[in-house]
Each structure stands twice: as structure tokens, then as C-alpha cells.
Structure 1
Amino acid sequence: MRLAVGLSIHTGWAACVVAGGSLRDPRIESRQELELLGDRDRFVFHRAADLDRMDAERSVARARSMALESASAALRQLKHAHDIRLCAIVAKPGAMPALDTILASHPRIHTAEGMLYRDVFVEAATANGLEARVVPPSSLNATDPALVAAGRIVGKPWNRDVRLAALAAWLSL
């Protein structure tokens, strides 16, 4: 059976589902949370906003490197355990703005943190030989009746993050 990993991205972590089959014949091989950075470190750009420019750049680079290492290790382990080939990442598309632009606006700080973790997972997936696909959350319907029915088959947990990650994985297969 072909399998894909679906990730629903948050600040410093992602809901992760390894799925096979389809909405009509759902299979879930694994459900877990992948923590990339702990509570102290995960708000990368919030922390950078309190630093001078040079220290902010170093802080962001260091946090990104740590997050990438964690994401790469997690995806490597999933690939070997489940022989996955695809990684569907539920996140908004878009290019990361320059650091000065990000730090000039609190809403941009929040947006940039989502972009950072999205980009880290894309890079980690690619480095592990997985095809990475960014799936905009607006393209997924977490209340689709077929998805709700799939949840009755695969069981709990079946919260919004798990549903979106699973749906993205199934649609990528």
C-alpha cells in the first residue's frame, strides 16, 4: 500500500499522520505530534524582535537549524518505519519576507513563524528523498462528510489537525 505523511503545521510543532488508502477506504499507520522546538525556543521571530539586527539574524538562523535537524530526524524515522514517498504539508503558500520586514509588524511575525516551520518541513522532506507538497488549508474541508466518516473508521484522535493532515496525505496519494 502506498503511504504518505501529512503534516498540519503549528509554531514549533506539527500534527503528523501517516496515511494510506483513501477517504473511502482509509488507513492510518501512525498519528503523532512532531515537536521541532520546545516552548522556550519555538517563537523564533518573537524572540528576534527583542534583539539587535545582528543578534536577531543569528538567533533565527540557529533556531531554523535546530528545527531542521529535528524535522529531518523525524521524517527520516517515519520514512524508514513506513516506507513513505510523499509529504503533504498543510500550510499557507508564499515567500518568506526579509527579516526587517517581518520584525516591523507583529502580524508578520506570526505569519513568518508559520512560514519558517513550513519551509523547514519542505527542506527536511526533500533531504530525505520525499516529494514535498504544500497544501493550503483553504483547499481542505475538515468537515467534509467523507472525512467525518473516515474518522469513525480510523478512530480517535480525530481532531481538526489530524483530519487536515490525513486529508492532505490522502489527496497526495
Structure 2
Amino acid sequence: MIYVGKSNPKDKVRRCHEIIDRDRLSHIFPLKDYYDYVWFFWVRLGSMWNSKIQHGMTVEDDKIMQEILTMLTYDGSEQGWAVFSRGLHDMTKGKGDILLTVFDNSEKWGQKVDHPHKFVPVLHEEITGVHPEHHCNRLILPGSAGYIPERVVCSECGRTMDKYIMYRCCTD
């Protein structure tokens, strides 16, 4: 498990890292290496996005672009997110508010997990079953390729997203 936080880790990420280390919640990278790994994770996603765009791929017809879009949307969110996987093929992901709802209701679905290999598939089923009445996704696209697509669809509901130019100073 690795806490990757945001593409521009700030003091909040350092505090989370310290808590994970202090409370022995997981094995973690030393803080001096951690920022390099987080940077590489987000830069790699951006590079994959730009490469796909340059090859004429779109979110509508490319599963990898859909997944990249989802991860980039999570980065634009203030709610947090998580990805769970087991092995190469079982994977699920979700925004923080949906995950908290699912885990708060775990007494309703927990009995379906009668073996460790069932956890991720059951969790995926529960996450995809939660449809919030309202959601708002923000997407910050990597701009190094100089190309901004005319149309991007929401990774959650499939509707075309409104396009804005945003400048932001965040001291989080």
C-alpha cells in the first residue's frame, strides 16, 4: 500500500505520512524517497495521457484512457480516493465519500466475503451500486503536450464535462 495523495503533495501529505509511520499503519517509504515516488506516479499518468492523445485515442474508445481520466479526476477532488487490488486482475476504486458510505454499510455485505479472494470483487460490487444524487468531478489535465481535448466525459456518469481554464493558488 502506498499513499500517493495529490499530484502536488503539500504539508497535509507530510502529516499523513508521519501518522502512518508513527502509528505503524503500514510499511512506508522514507519521506525523502516518498515525494519522488509520488511525483513519478503522477508524471507517469500524465505521460500516458499525453501519449494516448498523440496517438489519436479518446476516452470513449480506450479503456486505459478511461482509467487515466478517473485517476486524474481523483487528483482534482478534495474528497480523497482509494484503489484496492488483489493480484493482477481484481481491482476496484472509488472516491472517498462513496468508499465511506460503502464501509459504513459493511455489516450488510461483509458476510459475502467468506474468503480473502472475494474481498475486492464484493467491494467493487458495492462501490458500483452507490449512485450519489449529486456529484461534481474536477479534472486537471496534464498540459505538457499543448493539446486540450474539445470534449471530455465524466468518468462517473459519462456526461460531457464543462470546460474551464483554471488558475489556482492553494496553500493546503
From the two aligned structures, give the one with the greater helix fraction.
1
- Where relative contact order (Cα < 8 A, 6+ residues apart) is larger, the structure is 1
TM-score category, normalised to shorter length: under 0.3
Give me the TM-score of the superposition, normalised by structure 2: 0.27
Give me the TM-score of the superposition, normalised by structure 1: 0.27
Larger Rg: 2
